[in-house]
Chain A
């Protein structure tokens, strides 16, 4: 990193952030809760309680810093790896994990209540929903922006390019937030694209920013600036957060087949949580008491998550028919009858 970050934002001045001490501690708290919940979900999958789970360890700063920078009225359109952003938005993680328990498509949480869209697995596809929502909000004269999360691999998808272009043409208040975690399953970013991701923004005619994605404050700052540009001026921004996926692509993946252990060691030394802890201590904003408190809270958070997931039953079979259409059509009514025998 360092020089190769180009127009990177890194280690911003605490004063320039406009965050109170409480906010600075809150960021740490949410990163710590995310790390514990992520480990718990991975363990739950190993124990057969989840069908699959894509760990995000290593990407806490990128997710928490960006989600925390938004206003409550702003909409987030996540992909499948954004449990950390869900934590910031107060989404119930048991409801979120219904998706990975394969007991409900998208998760059972109320997206509208949290302005946090449903888990979207077709790579890059949710970007277009963020753009459309932003266009709609703008037509309504609402002062809000939308943020789409996606990965480095997603920048190869047509939906990414079409979404950027639409947002530029319609001056839609969108933040395109790319977590460049260096890998798309087994394909390294060097084999995914030649141009630096942040520079692709040039082609659409809006700002591109590369930020140190393991620096939560830098991510926070870059996202706040992008959100203000979007809301006030209808200018989209592409943010490339340079980070690292410390775990496998998903619990079904074996990362040792394609990446050297030494790479992980390099990035472990840049662990975003350790790094932020040091920063807070250096700034005199948090002490051992605070960190012990957070650790306790994270333990309880994970325990509730575990108990909730294990206790959650498959959805009743009649729900299969409930919301396919606003009104159950005749052919589905017959199928329902066949299944339920009523």
Chain B
């Protein structure tokens, strides 16, 4: 067993997808030589060449719209939005076309692409660098929205997202980028699919649901409270936020496994 950071796990997921599926492409701003501003794509261009891992001009709407065109031509693009607050120029392409393509074409065409977006606060970042735009996407039919909370989970989810036949918006919690976890990437032969919540800690008396575990459970879990009260709490991470079906509760998350 090794210790991996989430950045490393994401990098390995991209690397393994590029290796296993010759149609996978990685594109975005500064993702080539630099390896991305968060280094998630570090070394990928060197390993797979500039045809499959390439820097684009600085234009987010085009990154999304061109990714759709690539997908229509049979490729599986994984596009990076450099920062959360700069993903908005791409929203029109995502909402007006990417999310709608399968439906519009009566299932004849689809947009099997992934848009990765680093997001959320907790790192002391400035304006535009600490936003949580997941609700915009979660309220759009045709998109799957994914948020991993731990490195091993990030690996499995990104691989599942790239393999998914539908467009996936993949949010990467910046505050967790350098968090570490023991384990072997991809070793879980039966990873949780997209849309299933993950049980972070077992318990029997009450349930705590978080749309994303942005901090380590060790630091935030009310362990003392639950132990002094003699009750046991089950912690779950929903991993795939969706529009809530009922206004009164987190019912949009399917039963954790």
Contact = CB atoms under 8 A, between A and B. Distances in A.
A325 B142 contact: yes
A322 B107 contact: yes
Contact of A326 (B68, B105, B166): B166
A92 to B, nearest CB: 14
Contacts of A111: 105, 108-109
Interface string B108-138: 1110000000000000000000000000000
Interface string B51-84: 1000011010110111111111111000000000
Contacts of B59: 158, 162, 165-166
Contacts, number: 130
Interface stretch (B4-12, B90-98, B228-236): B90-98
Contacts of A169: 56-57
B135 to A, nearest CB: 16
A336 B110 CA distance: 21
B245 interface: yes
A129 B166 contact: no
Interface string A131-151: 111111101100000000000
A8 interface: no
B109 A331 contact: no
A112 B109 contact: yes
B105 A118 contact: yes
Interface residues of A, number: 41
A18 interface: no
A324 B100 CA distance: 7
A122 interface: yes
Nearest to B67: A132
Given A132-B66, A132-B73, A166-B56, A331 B242 contact: yes
A326 B62 contact: no
Nearest to A329: B195
Given A112-B109, A132-B65, A122 B57 contact: no
A157 B198 CA distance: 43
Contacts of B110: 326
A40 interface: no
A128 B245 contact: no
A326 B109 CA distance: 10
B166 A158 contact: no
9 tightest A-B CB contacts, nearest first: A132-B69, A128-B65, A136-B73, A162-B62, A132-B66, A106-B104, A326-B165, A323-B107, A133-B69
5 contacts: A125-B96, A131-B69, A139-B51, A139-B75, A169-B57
Given A104-B106, A133-B72, A325-B142, 10 more contacts: A128-B64, A129-B69, A131-B62, A132-B65, A137-B73, A162-B62, A169-B56, A323-B105, A324-B142, A330-B195
Interface of B: 25, 51, 56-57, 59, 61-62, 64-75, 89, 92-93, 96-97, 100, 102-110, 141-142, 144, 165-166, 195, 242-243, 245, 252, 254
